[in-house]
Amino acid sequence: MTKPTDYSFTRYLAAKKSVDDRALNRHVGESLRQALRPTTMETPLQVLEIGAGIGTMIERTLDWNLLIHATYTAIDAESDNIAEARRRLPDWGNKEGFAVTDDEQRIRLQREGQEVTVILEAIDLFDFMTRERGQRTWDLLIAHAFVDLVDVPATLPRLLFLLRPGGLLYFTIVFDGVTILQPDINPAFDAHIERLYHQTMDERLVNGRPSGDSQSGRHLFQHLQAAGVKLLDAGSSDWVVFPGPQGYPADEAYFLHFIIHTMHTALTGYPDLDEDRFNHWIARRHAQIEQGSLVFIVHQLDFLGRKPPPGNRGSR
């Protein structure tokens, strides 16, 4: 695939789906299946997903038959993402053999004893937490490729107010400080770029507040414990993107071009980086994708935790 001339975040999220499908830790996923309470039509599981993007995790949890009877609330700050989720979910459901009912408020998917109602909302997480605290709670909180974007010690206690006692949290694809691009161009310069790129994550500010941590994965163990969450399972969920006999699968060449473009945007004009040399490096990485030679590996972790019942805070 030749280097794109423009970039779309919603296409990137769609292209990321097959990469995430391979990466997600199956052991942690199976632990989630075991930990979920039984459900019926009358007592559906209440699921909340934050930073849900275009809704690929909704599709995945249905695909995996993790959710049998559920009401799934999915929020994202970007209205374009929610609009795309609203567009693609009914199409996806129809293709997968669901009967789909779609009105302004909710999308209902029904198939052979499975019934899931999806409520999509474009809203910032912090506004949502303020609005919902004390109003209602959920059984399962999902955050997929999201936790590394927020200040976890400040945000996690507020998130826990949205979970019922004994409720589960499933935090997946949490970035953990390693980005590998192969083949090497110049090992010292490659390592320098990786270091600076991670530094941009550590320095990220949203509304003037620190937001993000390039080692979120390894730090989450302590953050969960400090917040009183009981850790049920954890495991790695590394992205490994490589060209197979037919080149990159699905839309993964686009995914790679988007990542290189993101690195370019993040580091353009950055101190300590020779601009011409960096632009040349970026062009070489795009060329490696066009030639089908780039291998991309990112270290990430998945977590399953439980909010203890009252009086049990911090027990393990």
Q: Give the binding site for ligand SAM (CB under 6 A).
A: 13, 16, 51-53, 56-57, 75-78, 81, 124-126, 144-146, 149
- Residue 59 or 233 with smaller CB distance to ligand SAM: 59
E strands in the chain: 45-50, 69-76, 99-102, 107-111, 114-122, 138-144, 163-182, 205-206, 209-210, 230-236, 239-241, 295-306
Rounded to a whole number of angstroms, the minimum distance from the CB of residue 155 to ligand SAM is: 9
Helix (H) or strand (E) holding 267: helix 252-267
Least Cβ distance, residue 24 to ligand SAM (angstroms): 11
**Contact between 122 and 78 (Cβ < 8 Å):** yes
Q: How far is the CB of 43 from ligand SAM (least distance, A)?
A: 27
C-alpha torsion angle, residues 98, 80, 296, 302 (rounded to 10): -60
Q: Which is nearer to ligand SAM, 239 or 281 (CB)?
A: 239
**Of the two residues 44 and 53, which places its CB atom closer to ligand SAM in the complex?**
53
Select from 12, 17, 1 the least CA-distant residue to 258: 12
Shortest distance (Å) from residue 315 CB to ligand SAM: 30
46 is written with which tokens? 């209440």
CB of 312 to ligand SAM, least distance (A): 29
Residue with Cβ nearer ligand SAM (107 or 159): 159
Nearest to 148 by CA among 184, 198, 89, 188: 198
What is the C-alpha to C-alpha distance for residues 288 and 208, in angstroms, rounded to an integer? 37
* Closer of 57 and 282 to ligand SAM (Cβ): 57
The H or E element containing residue 187 is helix 187-202
Nearest residue to ligand SAM on Cβ basis: 53
Q: Which is nearer to ligand SAM, 126 or 197 (CB)?
A: 126
Provide the minimum distance between the beta carbon of 64 and ligand SAM in the complex, in angstroms, as a whole number.
Answer: 15
What does the DSSP 8-state code read for residue 245?
Answer: T
